[in-house]
Structures are given as structure tokens and as C-alpha cells.
Amino acid sequence: MIDSRPVCDYEGSNYQSEFWDRGERDYEDRAEQIALRALLPKSGRMFLELGAGAGRQTPLLSAFDHVVLLDYSRTQLAQARARLGGAGRYTYVAANVYQLPFAPGAFDAAMMIRVMHHLVDAPAALKEIRAALAPGATFVAEYANKQNVKAIARYLLRQQSWSPFAPEPVEFVKLNFDFHPRAMRQWLAEAGFIIERQRTVSHFRSGLLKRLFPASVLAAADGLFQPTGDWWQLTPSVFVKTVVSSQRSEVRDRKSEGEGREAGRVEDILRCPQCKGGVSRDGDTLFCADGHRWGIHDGVYDFKDLI
């Protein structure tokens, strides 16, 4: 069955050009890059970028042998492909985060930036991501923090009804959620992730400051404050670096998976998202033993809709 949870779909949107290229978010973009450079592993084999969009942050992953860009939107992936190139280091996959089309333990690192706030069921997504990661793998995740200074001030001044201190998520716009750091840490732990570091990002997200100071200066200042995220989280955006906990049986699984993959192709880690069975390729069609069929269009593995 196709997963029925609602997904925020950027299909056909000009998110990259409107929000990032012309959206005066140079400061946020630079601040994110500082956080990611501090948190991402310095090298690795297979990297999974969840919600890669048009590939805005993908160039930061140059130390990895191979990067799989996953997004729910085919048109976002088409933009990423036009920007980064079709063959070689990159693979483009359209799929639902609640039904990932990958073999267990297929990746040794992953990141998910500016995606969590669109997830109606973040704990389920985290468990699905965890399954695609090998024991000891690094996962860097970003989430929108409801317990930020602006929300606290508005709440105390009675300009906002919801409490920034309560653990439950707040949906401030349809399919846009802010989370409490304590809840997020609990979900990560329940999914099998061990938090190593936390970085608070966008300390200076204010129109006035952005007009007064160049983005590079504000971002550099933000970078100085980011490590305080290990102690408190009061910014609108929080980055966490986690590792997948290692358990003996899983290490054995990974070994057997890895052995079959050593000289393999990227397609060897693809699985049918519905039954998790292996897939075979026939021209531009992938099919599993249960008869599910998926298309490959313009260099994108399309697991969004059955064909």
C-alpha cells in the first residue's frame, strides 16, 4: 500500500529560485553551511541526502564517494540534476520518507535539512531513516525549534496561544511544524540514534539585523554561537549530529550486506518501497517479485507512484 500520511510536496514549485536565490536568505544559507561543515563526516562511501531539493547543500558532500539525492518532488530533483550533472557521483531518487526504497544499512551517512518541519509523523520517518543506515553511521538532522526566543517572548506577552515549553509539536501553517528539543531528542533516541552534538543556528534571524549587517558577518557571528546548542536551544533552527547505535546482530547483517555490495552498483541498494523486496531492471522499469513496478524518468528513479 502507498503510505497515506500527507506529505508536503514541492512538485512544480520554484522554491529554489524564490526562497533561496531571490529570497534574501543568504545569511541562513551561510549559517547552515557553517553548521554542516562542523557536523558532517570528513569522508565516507555512501551518503543519503533526504529532501535534497534542488541540491543547494549537496556540494558540501564532496568528500563522499557517492551521494543519493532523495526528494518527494521530481521537479526539484530535475533541477538538482541540471545543476550537479547526471552520471557519476550522484543518484536521484523520488520517494516518500515513510517508505524509503533502500536496503537495510545501505548508507554510512545521511542528512536531512529543512525537512523535519514538514513531517506530520517525524518519529516514523526517523525509524525509516534509521533502517537505511549502517550501525555507526552518522545522521545530521535539522529541525524547527518551537522553544525559540521570539516564540517565548510572544507567549509571555500573550500574543501567542501555544506554549513554547510544551513538548508536543505545533502546526503553525498546514504541514509546517515546530518541535520541542526535548521531544526531538526522545524520538531520536527511540529510533536508535545517539546524539553526539547539537548546534543552534540562525541566532540573528531578524529583518533589522539582516539590513544592518552583511550576511557573511552575521553568519560568522552565528557560527561562534552555534556550539552553545550543546547546552541550550533557543534558536528557530537546531542541527543535531547523531550516530546509529551498534548492536551485534545488526553488525552481522551489515557485513553480509556489505560483502554483496563491494563491487556492486548503486542499483544494488535499491529496494521496492512497498514490500522491501529486491528490484530488477528492465529498460526504464524496475520491478520486484511481488509485481510492483516503478519507472526511471530522465535519470530519476521514481518510487513516488506505481506504474
Q: Segment contacting Zn ion (CB under 5 A): 50-58, 221-229, 258-266, 277-285?
A: 277-285
Q: Does 307 bind Zn ion (CB under 5 A)?
A: no
Q: Does 99 bind Zn ion (CB under 5 A)?
A: no
Give the separation between CA 31 and CA 200, rounded to whole angstroms.
10
Largest Cα–Cα separation, the chain: 62
Query: Binding Zn ion by CB under 5 A: which of 119, 126, 218, 272?
Result: 272
Q: Minimum Å distance from CB 288 to Zn ion?
A: 3
Give the separation between CA 286 and CA 306, rounded to whole angstroms.
10
Residue 224, burial from CB neighbour count under 10 angstroms (0-12, 13-18, 19+): exposed
Query: Binding Zn ion by CB under 5 A: which of 258, 292, 295, 299?
Result: 292
Q: How many Cβ atoms are within 10 Å of 78's Cβ, its own excluded?
A: 18
Q: Segment contacting Zn ion (CB under 5 A): 19-27, 146-154, 166-174, 275-283?
A: 275-283
Task: Annotate 38-91 with DSSP letters as a single string.
Answer: HHS-S-EEEEEEET-TTTSSGGGGTTEEEEEEEES-HHHHHHHHHHH-SSSSEE
Give the separation between CA 82 and CA 84, rounded to whole angstroms.
6
Q: Does 2 bind Zn ion (CB under 5 A)?
A: no
Q: Segment contacting Zn ion (CB under 5 A): 139-147, 208-216, 220-228, 268-276?
A: 268-276
Q: Does 281 bind Zn ion (CB under 5 A)?
A: no
The DSSP element (H or E) to which 221 belongs, if any, is helix 215-225
Residue of minimal CB distance from Zn ion?
Answer: 272
Q: CB of 44 within 8 A of CB of 108? A: yes
Q: Minimum Å distance from CB 133 to Zn ion?
A: 22
Residue 26's contacts (CB-CB under 8 Å, 6 or more residues apart) are: 215
Query: Binding Zn ion by CB under 5 A: which of 274, 287, 297, 299?
Result: 274
How many residues in the shown chain lie near Zn ion by CB under 5 A? Answer: 7
The smaller minimum CB distance to Zn ion, of residues 11 and 290, is found at 290
The smaller minimum CB distance to Zn ion, of residues 156 and 275, is found at 275
Interaction site with Zn ion (CB under 5 A): 272, 274-275, 277, 288, 290, 292
